[in-house]
Structure formats: C-alpha cells, structure tokens
Structure 1
C-alpha cells in the first residue's frame, strides 16, 4: 500500500515566494534521489501554514528518505525556508 507523509509547517510571509521558488528543485531532487517517491502536493493554509502531502511506494521508502534529510541542494533550499515544523505524520492510502 502507498505510504503518505503529511507535514504541516509555518513559513513567514516574507519567505512565501522563496518557498514556492524552491519547490520545483526539491521535487526534482526527490525524483532523482529518493527511491519510491511517487509525488507531492503543497497546500497553502491560512496564517502562514502549509501542508505538504508526499506519497511513497512504501513505509520503508519513506524512512530511507527521512534518513537522507536535506542531502541535496534543492531539498535543503526548501527545508531552509521553513520557519517552524508544526507536525509530521505517516499514514496509509487505501
């Protein structure tokens, strides 16, 4: 079954454009370097909060990705814009 990573975070208003500008590089790096990456959706919520929904082929693929962290420039650039992590969860798509 598909594993879903659900991450909620805050970005200050002055970094909103930076977040959007770095998104394509993050996704490209995930596609190149993260086994089992299926896709991602970024949702803007009120009050400077964002929801990132990432789909993985398996829980093991998600865990391997987490272990790599911001190992590539596009991924790290996206992570650097995030001001505060609100929550991070793993679920299963049925």
Structure 2
C-alpha cells in the first residue's frame, strides 16, 4: 500500500573502498554507522548495498533535508566511525540529497 507522507529526504552516497580495505570488516564497521544515524533527529531508514564492480551505495531516509545535512556534517567528526570512514576512498564519494516521491515496502 502506498501512502502519502510529508516530504522526506533521501541521502544517497556512492563510493568505492580504498584498495586495501576488507569488505567484511567494512560491513562490520557499518553497524556503528547504523547506531550513529539511529540516534540522529529525523532518521527513518538506512540501506547499504554494492555493485559487482565495487561501487557502494548508501541510502539514508530522513524526515527533512536539514536533518540529513546535520547528520552528514556530524558523521565526519564522530571518532567511533573512524574505521568505516577510513575504508572509503574519499575522491570517489558522490553525495546527493533528493526528495522522496514514492516508497513501497
């Protein structure tokens, strides 16, 4: 069933891992990111996936753009996420914020 919701924001981040990163260790470190975002105001949902050629895709749904931007600004300074953040190839990062139009679960 599709229901109309107030405008929500989806944060999409595309990135690659640094060459020596262990994908399994990265997935484990990702659990700390989940705990971090779950505590942020406006958090709704998080998904992390990857393609066969090594592109990782993070989707985080937020109640508003302001809450998404605040979390994005805070994540880089959160010391507990260092293992996750250092596994990401910085120059490969592409970040987008979009308005959610349809969500079906």
Taking structure 1 as the reference length, the TM-score comes to 0.85
2:94 counterpart (72, 82, 87): 87
Q: Note the residue ranges of structure 1 that are not aligned, 5 or more in a row.
A: none
Q: Which has the larger radius of gyration?
A: 2
- Tell me how many residue pairs correspond in the alignment: 93
The runs of at least 4 consecutive aligned structure 1 residues that moved more than 6 Å come to none
**CA-atom RMSD, angstroms?**
1.7
> Paired residue for 1:47?
53
Q: Note the residue ranges of structure 2 that are not aligned, 5 or more in a row.
A: 1-6
Taking structure 2 as the reference length, the TM-score comes to 0.77
2:28 counterpart (21, 30, 54): 21
Query: Greater share of helix residues, 1 or 2?
Result: 1
Query: Greater share of strand residues, 1 or 2?
Result: 1
